[in-house]
Amino acid sequence: MSIIVEKVSKTYGKQFALRDVSFSIEPNEIVGFIGPNGAGKSTMMKIICGYLPPSEGTVKVNGIDVSEAPLKVRETIGYLPENNPLYHEMYVREYLEFVSGMLKIPNRETRITEIIKQTGLEAEKHKKIAALSKGYKQRVGIAQALIHNPSVVILDEPTTGLDPNQILEIRNLISETGKGKTIMLSTHIMQEVEAICSRIIVINKGEIVANDKAGNLKVQTQGSFVTISVEFNAQVDIEKLNKIKGVVKAVNVKGSNYLLQSNVDNDIRPDVFQFAVESNLTVLALQKMEQSLEEVFRELTKK
Ligand code: ADP
Ligand code: MG
């Protein structure tokens, strides 16, 4: 395992930020850490990176206990903090030289040139960080996190505050530069995790409320009914639709479009087709209505 979090709790004075949190992340996984503001995402990430001690519990990164050897852990971990704190008065290349000096990176100049290329900063490397757009500042933050070629990368809300084009660019950059690495990224945007993560850990009010693949989360939260959307070539008597085997409720949406509800473990689509054939109707469209990840998120974090 790359990251093992075991029964971690954290209080700031009287304020509970994390309560009995446990999860693990395997090598080369890209995991989305998602939850509303104040859920405890940044706190958990700071603890994993050894910047904040847990009140209780243990965290291991690549087998090393973070509380016992925080500096050793930081050698194998790349961290992009929330709000990406950078030295705005420094030039891009100068800043990366400063960071790599602190990390005692071998073959420093070659490595800096390499990471500048990888993160698309070639044209900006002689600019002051203050002069960069938010998307490019974020690239510098990612370059800083990856410069020592860590096997584990923790990115705290890497796309928050960016415009839609920048979001796409940063997502692609994370996917490309993250190959062969373990990545944990936090966000409060659901599409983000659907786009790049293989697994989602949902946190709400300091507690883990879900930990699964996106597809499985949809199944878990959709409840006991599924809805089928069907369009025939002509209008149908709603009573006849209600009589199709397995249909719990039929509704006419508009024209010859209908929604048919059934129990979740019952796929009624073959019976709907059969009904159409027997009634001399043509099925123009037939689709299972998937719950969106937004709905999943709201469902899991509504308490
Ligand atoms: P998230 O990153 O999911 O928005 P945080 O980890 O920043 O959540 O915060 C979790 C909870 O801990 C919030 O209620 C927040 O107000 C509180 N908190 C975070 N940092 C501190 C701090 N330094 N002192 C007191 N409370 C804090
Ligand atoms: Mg945060």
**What is the distance in A from the centroid of ligand 2 to the CA of 226?**
35
Specify the pLDDT at position 221: 66
Task: Give yes or no for residue 61 having a pLDDT over 80.
Answer: yes
Residue nearest to atom 14 of ligand 1 (CA): 38
Q: What is the mean pLDDT of residues 207-218?
A: 86
Ligand 1 atom showing the smallest separation from residue 15 Cα: 26
Write out pLDDT tens, residues 217-248: 776 666 677 889 999 999 999 999 999 999 99
Q: What is the mean pLDDT of residues 54-70?
A: 96
**What is the distance in A from the centroid of ligand 1 to the CA of 199?**
24
**What is the distance in A from the centroid of ligand 2 to the CA of 207?**
15
Q: Note residues around ion ligand 2 (Cβ under 5 angstroms).
A: 41-42, 82
Specify the pLDDT at position 222: 65
d(CA 95, CA 125): 10
Angle, to 10 degrees, between the axis of helix 108-118 and the axis of helix 134-146? 140
CB within 6 Å of ligand 1 — which residues?
Answer: 12, 15, 17, 35, 37-43
Domains of the chain: 3-219 (3.40.50.300), 223-301 (3.30.70.1560)
Q: What is the mean pLDDT of residues 71-90?
A: 92
Q: What is the mean pLDDT of residues 129-158?
A: 95
Ligand 1 atom showing the smallest separation from residue 10 Cα: 12
Do 221 and 291 form a contact (C-beta atoms < 8 A)? yes
Task: Give yes or no for residue 81 having a pLDDT over 90.
Answer: yes
